[in-house]
Structure 1
Amino acid sequence: MTVRRRQAARILLLDGQDRVLLFLGADPAEPGVTWWFTPGGGLEPGEDVRDAAARELVEETGLRGVELGPLVGYGTVSFSFRGQRYEQEQWFHLARTEATGLDHSGMGDAEHAELLAARWWTLEELRRTAETVYPAGLADFLERLLAQGPPVVPVRL
């Protein structure tokens, strides 16, 4: 099977109570398997990571005027979706918002079909959940971000 390589921008979006926004997703090729993940998506041709993060945030949440903070993390993940293998380089921006009402109408039909729910999670809820959350180690990473602020150099996740 051919592996499709792509680059993606992701957002660790925190609200005024330090809760992080995660989406519940599923792969139609694997019924019954779900996971929680951060907003974000693939870079379009000629787009840089920051511009992609800003675009994806508006498309997926409807939130406008959110000030993107610094790049705080990066990593490479391998996964399968709809029978296609991917290797994805991804970068995580930190962002904050006071608005928590979401509008998913900017998502494409395919994205909308795979998005099962959206939820603002506390650090404690992340630590207690038995559900799959990406990126792995998100609770520990968020705890460090909240206690120490953004790292000088983005951290490998």
Structure 2
Amino acid sequence: MRTSTPPLREAARAIVLDADHRVLLLRCDENGGFWATPGGSLEDGEDHATATLRELREELGIDEKAVELGAQLAERSKDHLVGGREVRQVEKYFLTRVSAAALDPARASQPDNIREHRWWTLAERRAKPETVCPLGLADLVTGVLAHGAPMRPVVLAG
């Protein structure tokens, strides 16, 4: 029985959409493989918006001048392993609009465990059985495209 809470790890993630309303996901091999939105942990003194832009640059080589950073759409809290150590990760997800041409993976300075990136239509995302984190991403994006950003960030599961 665990009696203590894992250490907090704050993170910022981008829900990246292009002009065709496709969502950008990254495939990672850890934990059996999954697709996820770009992002990662905050550095000392960094806010979530700044971390989102930095992570896009580090993981995908995107110049922050090419990014239209929007509202915080969602948040998620999950206990999981990072580098073999259990943490309670609290993530904030930001709407981000980027041209597909702005990606330059050759300029990525910290691609981490990213094996590939792919732009997905919502129909493709719903039809594929691959694991995507966070759960509910397709529904969230569908709602944003139909009604705009929520008044308050949506709480996502897993």
Counterpart in the other structure of 1:90: 91
- Which consecutive unaligned segments of at least 5 residues does structure 2 have? none
CA contact (8 A) 1:61 1:102 kept: yes
State the aligned residue count.
Answer: 150
CA contact (8 A) 2:38 2:56 kept: yes
The 2-side partners of 1:97 and 1:108 are apart by 19
Q: How does 1:1-157 map to 2 (within 5 A)?
A: 3-27=6-30, 30=31, 33-64=32-63, 65=65, 66-100=67-101, 102-104=103-105, 105-108=107-110, 111=112, 114-157=113-156
* Structure 1 position 63, deviation (Å): 1.7
**Structure 2 vs 1, CA of residues 93 and 19 (structure 1 numbering), >3 Å: closer, same or farther?**
same
Compare 75-84 and 139-148 and name the one that shifted more: 75-84
Compare 82-91 and 50-59 and name the one that shifted more: 82-91
SS of 1:69's equivalent? Answer: strand
Identical positions, percent: 40
SS of 2:132's equivalent? Answer: coil
- TM-score with structure 1 setting the length: 0.88
* Structure 1 position 108, deviation (Å): 2.5
Q: Cα RMSD (Å) of the superposition?
A: 1.8
- Which consecutive unaligned segments of at least 5 residues does structure 1 have? none
CA contact (8 A) 2:61 2:109 kept: no
* Structure 1 position 48, deviation (Å): 0.6
Q: What are the superposed Cα offsets for residues 118-153 of structure 1, whole Å, 9 maximum, x if unpaired?
A: 000110011111110000011111110110011111
Q: What are the superposed Cα offsets for residues 46-73 of structure 1, whole Å, 9 maximum, x if unpaired?
A: 1011111111111112122112011111
